[in-house]
Amino acid sequence: MYLRLPKGQTVDDIPKEVLIDCTHLVKANSNQGCKMNNINVVYTPWTNLKKTADMDVGQIGFYRQKDVRTVTVEKKVNEILNRLEKAKVERFPDLAAEKEARDREERNEKKAQIQEMKRKEKEEMKKKKEMEDLRSYSSLMKSENMSSNQDGNDADDFM
């Protein structure tokens, strides 16, 4: 069973109710598990799944064992299964198109973040340049701001 989490949520953030519903569905849809009590349901992020060509059908491995979580389902609870069966909606989505759309959205978000960083960097450079101009005397030493007493502008008129 695959559970698609909302953006920014991790395996540790899965609500307990959702986890219980998922484990009961896994138990009910398992050939061996539906006949037994006290079964362990293992869950992990999809990036931790390891599948090689020499493995049997249905067999998987894990890259990091510490990312693997286990939940024990003691026995079948018909109330949960009946509630889930009533809410069941069967769809046949185009998974490749959904993945491409999600990847495109992530690329656009990353581009927007990069543009925002560049804009902030430009603003900061502009502010830094303005501060440097305020601190320097180059703006004071312009010829249009200067006057000479050679023109007859003698400031010593009071004598």
Digit-coded pLDDT (tens) for 42-101: 999 988 989 888 888 888 899 999 999 999 988 888 898 899 899 888 889 898 999 999
At which of 90, 110, 130 does a domain end? 90
Phi, psi torsion values for 41, nearest 5 degrees: -105, 125
| Domains identified in the chain, total number | 2
Least confident of 1-10, 99-108, 140-149: 140-149
Residues 75 and 20 in one domain: yes
Domain assignment present for residue 156? The answer is no
* Mean pLDDT along residues 25-42: 87
| Backbone region of residue 38 per phi and psi (left: phi > 0; alpha: psi in -120 to 50; beta: other values) | left
Domain assignment present for residue 114? The answer is yes
61 Cβ partners below 8 Å, 6+ apart? 49, 50, 51, 52, 55
pTM of the model: 0.61
Which domain range does residue 127 map to? Answer: 93-139
Given the structure tokens 């180059």, which residue do they identify? 138
Residues 56 and 106 in one domain: no
Domain assignment present for residue 157? The answer is no
Residues 80 and 117 in one domain: no
10 Cβ partners below 8 Å, 6+ apart? 45
Domain assignment present for residue 50? The answer is yes
pLDDT at 102 over 60: yes
Alpha helices in the chain (DSSP H): 16-28, 78-86, 95-135
Residue 151: predicted pLDDT: 62
Residue 135: predicted pLDDT: 81
At which of 56, 90, 124 does a domain end? 90
Separation between Cα atoms, residue 134 and residue 132, nearest integer Å: 5
Domain assignment present for residue 144? The answer is no
Residue 158: predicted pLDDT: 56
pLDDT at 157 over 60: no
Residues 63 and 81 in one domain: yes
Domain assignment present for residue 159? The answer is no
